[in-house]
Amino acid sequence: MKKVLLLLADGFEAVEASVFTDVLGWNKWEGDGSTEVVTVGLRNKLSCTWNFTIIPEKTINEIQLDEFDALAIPGGFEEAGFYKDAYSQEFSNVIQYFYTKQKPIASICVASLALGKSGILTGKRATTYNHPTSKRKEQLKNFGAVVQNELIVQEGNIITSSNPGTAFDVAFLLLEKLTSKENTEHVKELMGFSTTKTK
């Protein structure tokens, strides 16, 4: 079984977290059955960007990082307090562990800034929220990343992306890294994301 640590900051965007639970959950029941997601936060109750509360399955101090095969981090909003957790030493420690062990790290939108804050993107290709009105790309550059004008960037085992619209694609890329392209295409087809046209 491939265990994925879904690391949630207070103020995370729910839709960006749900793609990981859905895609990897569909794989668990309808795909090759090999993936399991564990939701983890700094505390035992978290607020999403737009104020509903969730209870993660574990807090960071209740888990052993070596039990996990991959890390997934959804983005969130500054106004909801996202960066307080995302820029914390506890988050950085988790990110650095997965980077050191060369395990897959998948981030969506501004979650790449947490990767940048941890120091793992120095000199590496990456992206983040890319709307022309946003300051996030400049912030990512200031963390030493080589910022790309692409929707999704894969740099070794690290996936970064540019907005919530990329969320499902990021989750499918993580599934492909953990299983296979063939299995991922099977799950995509079951979920209605297949590129095959039907009549």
pLDDT at 199: 43
What gap in Å lies between CA 13 and CA 48, rounded to an integer?
6
What is the rounded average pLDDT of the residues 99-117? 98
Mean of all residue pLDDT scores within the chain? 96
pLDDT at 51: 85
pLDDT in tens, 40-78: 999 999 999 998 999 999 999 999 999 999 999 999 999
Q: Identity (one letter) of the amino acid at 80?
A: A
pLDDT in tens, 156-191: 999 999 999 999 999 999 999 999 999 999 999 999
The number of residues making up the chain comes to 199
